Amino acid sequence: MHLLRNQAYIDGQWLKANSNDVFPVTNPADDCIIAEVPDMDASDAQKAIEAASKAFKTWRETTAKERSFILRKWFDLCQNNTDSLAEIITAESGKPLSESKGEVAYGNSFLEWFADAARHVNGEVLCSPWPNKQVIVTRHPIGVVSVITPWNFPFAMITRKVGALMAAGCTCVIKPSEDTPLAALAAVELAQQAGVPKGVINVITSSRKNAPNVGKILCEDPNIGCISFTGSTHVGKILYGMAAKGVKRVSLELGGNAPFIVFASADIENALDQAMLAKFRNNGQACIGANRFLIHEDVYDKFVDGFKNRIKQKCVLGPGIKPGVTCGPLVNEMQAKKVSSLVDEAVQKGAKPLVGGKFATNLGSKFYESTLLVDVKPDMTIYKEEIFGPVAVCLKFKTEEEVLEVANGTRSGLASYVFTRDLGQAFRMSRKLEFGMVAINDGILSAAEPPFGGIKESGIGREGSKHGVEEYTDIKYTLFSGLDK
């Protein structure tokens, strides 16, 4: 893994922590140590912010064409190093190598998209209410952005955020997850090779112990203009509260509780194929992963039987580097305990696992079997909470009104999936589902071109699309008067 780096990156230099402390990054498949990286604290974060603030003064003055050129070079280098990046992702996150390569392709698509989008951050000339005055609106980079990313897509979450903010003319300090910092360091190594000026991108690594203090300064330092965070709703609320002290911009992509709705008119074979993608991608560890399978009573038995058979045939559990494996380990012990406790409580209260429902202890401590649960009731925690693991919960419904009530009965509002061949029903569901994203007859909706994001407690703002760049800009209104003099 020639892109493996074991130091943080501040102001164009690879550095240790001020304290010289380190913490291990382990492979979740076998708990072996991949590397030890700096365990940085608030003083290191302050140094990174100062570097980003200094760099912003010059980076904001570069032309959109210059920024586009550098982003394109970064994209080309990431494309050429797909295999090396994928090896690092698999080593630290556990996902199968094929999925890691898919993540690199997905992450690269954002660099390609924002390289183009950089040259289309346009303003407006408005109709003036006065005969001798001109009104224009321009967009300007918001400043230094704190980028805090999760462990489930450690490369793509970097490029989706950093590509956008760089296109807008901003600089950043990245704090990757303590479980998966190596993909971020590899990405910034390639950014350096692409000619990204020093200080524009900075990466600080810290253990779970130092994360609260580092997060505090990344939210409250007066030089920070925006906090961009992907992760749990719980942590997002904490960061939002910190950002409020300085009235800072936030871009929050938080937890989901995605319904997967199958109506009687649906193409059941397609719905089953898409269900496998929507549920078991990254072993269920995805914020847009299907969480609740709501199946019409007329096709419930057919769907559940087909789902059970597909899980048995297609979900192959094992280390991510092993050929043929489709589901790797859960990322850490905490995640493994959460998933198993949700299933155990449901089974104790009467739920029935048709497939799975336990750890594959012959493989290791974090390998949980792909699971299908039925007879789930509203008093079970798994009925209400995001599972974030390889567990599918099937529920039966009778009417469109009933399924809308169940689907919308959550404070989350990120992604939703609907399967129907009734065109009118498809439009009604698109309008009435209280989610930021609705996929009709498809289980994969992520791409660089559409706006990704949620409503309610699933977040604020959008990533990807032209809106992803605009998140990192301020609007300025300028009035030109005296034009008739």
Q: Which residues sit opposite 146 in a β-bridge? A: 173, 227
Burial 395-414 (b: 16+ CB within 10 A, else e): bbbeebeebbebbeebebbb
Whether the CB-CB separation of 370 and 355 falls below 8 Å is answered with yes
Give the HSE-up count for residue 396: Cα atoms under 13 Å, Cβ half-sphere.
11
- The helix (H) or strand (E) run that includes residue 140 is strand 134-141
Would the CA dihedral through 346, 348, 350, 353 be positive or negative? positive
Residue 374 to residue 385: CA distance in whole angstroms = 16
Residue 4 to residue 249: CA distance in whole angstroms = 33
Q: From the candidates 99, 253, 386, 471, which is the catalytic residue?
A: 253
Residue 252 to residue 123: CA distance in whole angstroms = 25
CB atoms within 10 A of CB 480: 11
Coil, strand, or helix at residue 390?
coil
**Tokens 């090896």 belong to which residue?**
87
Q: Which two tokens stand for residue 63?
A: 């032309």
From the CA atom positions of the chain, what is the Rg in Å?
A: 23
Residue 77 to residue 424: CA distance in whole angstroms = 46
Q: Which two tokens stand for residue 202?
A: 């900075």
User: Is 434 a residue of the active site?
Assistant: no
Residues classed as catalytic? 253
